[in-house]
Amino acid sequence: MRTALVIAGKDLRQRLRDRSFFLFALALPLGLAVIFSLVLGDLDGESEVFRYGVVDEDGGELAGTFTDQFLPAVASSGVIDVEPVESVPAGRQRVDDGELAAVFVVPAGFSDAVQSGQPVTIEVIGDVDATFGVQVAQALADSYLADVASVRLAVAAAAASGSTTDPAVLAERAVAVPNPLPLVEDPARSRALDSTTYFSAGMAVFFLFFTVQFGVSSLLEERATGTMARLLAAPIRPVGILVGKLLTSFAVGVLAMGLLVAATSLLLGASWGDPVGVAVLVVSGVLAATGVMALVASLANTTEQAGSWQSIIAVVMGALGGAFFPVGQAGGLMSTLSYVTPHRWFLQGLADLSGGGGLGAVWLPALVMFGFAAVTGGIAILRGPKLVRV
């Protein structure tokens, strides 16, 4: 262990003299977090309220349920603001003018179609510059239509069982039946990161993968510059050299993340959550990043090759893992694939923490990232003899 500490001490001294460390570890992530927050989110910590319009071309009872009950209920949460719009052209104009993020259009014949079992839609006219707002509007429309489908299913089931009650009455009753599964809020799961914290964390974990490159990659550099010969000639075991390099990556990673957590909290007002939980996530995230980058370096033959491969892996995993945008909200394959990256688990853990959870909320993301570290780092260590040689 003494050997590893001596080597890590030397490497850290070298790293801290290298201005690129501060560029990748602090300046770039901090700068990009500011830019992303300004462009895509708010910096004052308050949630954006999406402004919507609604055009009721149907005028029926079920259209009224959407315009007068469903949307106002959502609006009462403060997330959206809804106002009636007299016509589709007027709504489209207001969207084009940027006054509204989207306009819901309940088409004529909507209520009749629902009662007669015909397919129904609620059209969403969106502002191309308000992607999130349109996504939220579409999700609300889909949610309401899903409720309608549930009610129709309930009515159909009643009719099939021989009920003689008027279907309209049955529908009203179905709507009125309380949800048999009470929705209990799970603070750790129901909360999401505010945009400043999200982009701060996203950029931090993205650049972490660049920051920790130095450690194991420097083995290739030691070989290229000839210093590896002197290390191997010393009365130390080769594994001590490898452990020293891994230790350097870990120390540099923790230092960079610590600086970023502090800087984004102080300068941008990011809310990282419970310090102990954040520390666990940072440590497990740094270990995972170190393991992944060590594995990539162990497959390369030269410093340049390792740098190229590591950059590609860092960018692809960062994008896939949601460092730039919340891929989890995209759903489908992208969301599923994001779970093969430590980035997603790191951000997931922070989101869970933001819900007020402590250590209990981050154990799964931390465990998964430890797993990443164990598997990738383990393979890198097994490939150690290929790296620690002249």
Partner 1 sequence: MQPPVLVCRDLRKSYGELRAVDGVSFSVAQGETYGLLGPNGAGKTTTISMIVGILARDAGEVIVDGEPLTPSRVKVKSRIGYVPQELALYPDLNGRENLRFFARLYGLTGQQVNRRTDQALEIVGLADRAGDLVKEYSGGMKRRLNIAAGLLHDPKLLVLDEPTAGVDPQSRNAILESVERLAGEGIAVLYTTHYMEEAERLCDRVGIIDLGQLRAEGTRRELVSLIGERDRVSLDAAGDLARAQAAAAAVPGVQTAEAGDGRIELLVEEASTALPSILTAVSGTGVTVRSVTVSEPNLEAVFLHLTGKALRD
Least separation in angstroms between CB 240 and partner 1: 9
Q: Which is nearer to partner 1, 153 or 234 (CB)?
A: 234
Any contact of residue 226 with partner 1 (CB under 8 A)? yes
Any contact of residue 40 with partner 1 (CB under 8 A)? no
Q: Which is nearer to partner 1, 241 or 373 (CB)?
A: 241
Using CB under 8 A, which of the segments 26-34, 86-94, 222-230, 278-286 binds partner 1? Answer: 222-230
Using CB under 8 A, which of the segments 9-17, 107-115, 284-292, 315-323 binds partner 1? Answer: 9-17
Any contact of residue 18 with partner 1 (CB under 8 A)? yes
Using CB under 8 A, which of the segments 12-20, 95-103, 298-306, 373-381 binds partner 1? Answer: 12-20
Any contact of residue 90 with partner 1 (CB under 8 A)? no
Number of residues that bind partner 1 (CB under 8 A): 21
Least separation in angstroms between CB 298 and partner 1: 20
Any contact of residue 13 with partner 1 (CB under 8 A)? yes
Any contact of residue 20 with partner 1 (CB under 8 A)? no
Q: Is 159 helix (H, G, I), strand (E, B) or coil?
A: helix
Q: Which is nearer to partner 1, 281 or 381 (CB)?
A: 381
Q: Out of 38, 49, 330, 390, point to the residue binding partner 1 (CB under 8 A).
A: 390
Q: Looking only at residues 227 through 246 of this chain, which bind partner 1 when binding is defined by CB under 8 A?
A: 227, 229-237
Q: Which is nearer to partner 1, 1 or 233 (CB)?
A: 233
Q: Which residues bind partner 1 (CB under 8 A)?
A: 3, 6-7, 10, 13-14, 17-18, 225-227, 229-237, 390
